[in-house]
């Protein structure tokens, strides 16, 4: 005969039993979350790989397009000047563009070297100073 006061009494676990199974449940939960993260990341990485492959293909065809446009420029100039001079003019323009881009690239690289996070280092130093009690937190930040 079942207990009329509490029919679910037989299915309830004691607090000690629940606490004892807690580490295993947490471990299973963490393993499940890690498996979900791995699956999600694998899917996203496949999508990134497909996107990167398509971009490489686009860059390759862009390179071919540039070659055809340069050929058209040389052939177009060849109707006005000697063919060798047309090729030389297009090459000179390409040399100037290449030099400007190289100079801008070197200038941009010099801004980023050395790659130290200066603001973060200053912020951490301010945090350490404040934690040591050597001044207020806000005054150490500014």
Q: What is the pLDDT of residues 56-69, one digit of tens each?
A: 999 999 999 999 99
Phi/psi of residue 24, nearest 5 degrees: -65, -40
Using DSSP, state whether 88 is helix, strand or coil. helix
In a domain, 11, yes or no: no
Is there a single domain that holds both residue 119 and residue 107? no
How far apart CA 29 and CA 23 sit, in angstroms, is 10
Mean local confidence (pLDDT), 46-64: 96
In a domain, 10, yes or no: no
Q: Using an 8 Å Cβ cutoff, are 74 and 93 in contact? A: no
Q: Using an 8 Å Cβ cutoff, are 73 and 90 in contact? A: yes
Is the predicted pLDDT of residue 116 greater than 90, yes or no? no
In a domain, 9, yes or no: no
Mean pLDDT estimate for the chain: 86
How far apart CA 68 and CA 88 sit, in angstroms, is 16
In a domain, 56, yes or no: yes
According to the per-residue pLDDT averaged within each range, which of 31-35, 36-40, 95-99, 117-121 is highest?
A: 95-99
Mean local confidence (pLDDT), 127-141: 67
| Number of structural domains found in the chain | 2
Closest CA to 91 of 112, 64, 73: 73
Residues 69-107: tens digit of each pLDDT: 999 999 999 999 999 999 999 999 999 999 999 999 999
Query: 101: domain range?
Result: 16-111
Full-model pTM: 0.53
């Amino acid at each position: 005969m079942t207990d009329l006061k509490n029919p679910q009494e037989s299915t309830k676990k004691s607090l000690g039993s629940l606490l004892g199974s807690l580490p295993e449940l947490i471990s299973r939960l963490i393993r499940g979350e890690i498996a979900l993260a791995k699956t999600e990341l694998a899917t996203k990485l496949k999508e990134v790989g497909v996107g990167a492959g398509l971009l490489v293909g686009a860059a390759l065809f862009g390179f071919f397009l540039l070659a055809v446009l340069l050929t058209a420029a040389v052939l177009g100039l060849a109707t006005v000047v000697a063919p060798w001079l047309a090729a030389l003019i297009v090459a000179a323009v390409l040399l100037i563009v290449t030099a400007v881009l190289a100079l801008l690239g070197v200038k941009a690289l010099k801004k980023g070297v050395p790659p130290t996070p200066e603001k973060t280092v200053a912020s951490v130093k301010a945090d350490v100073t404040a934690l040591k009690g050597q001044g207020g937190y806000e005054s150490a930040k500014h």
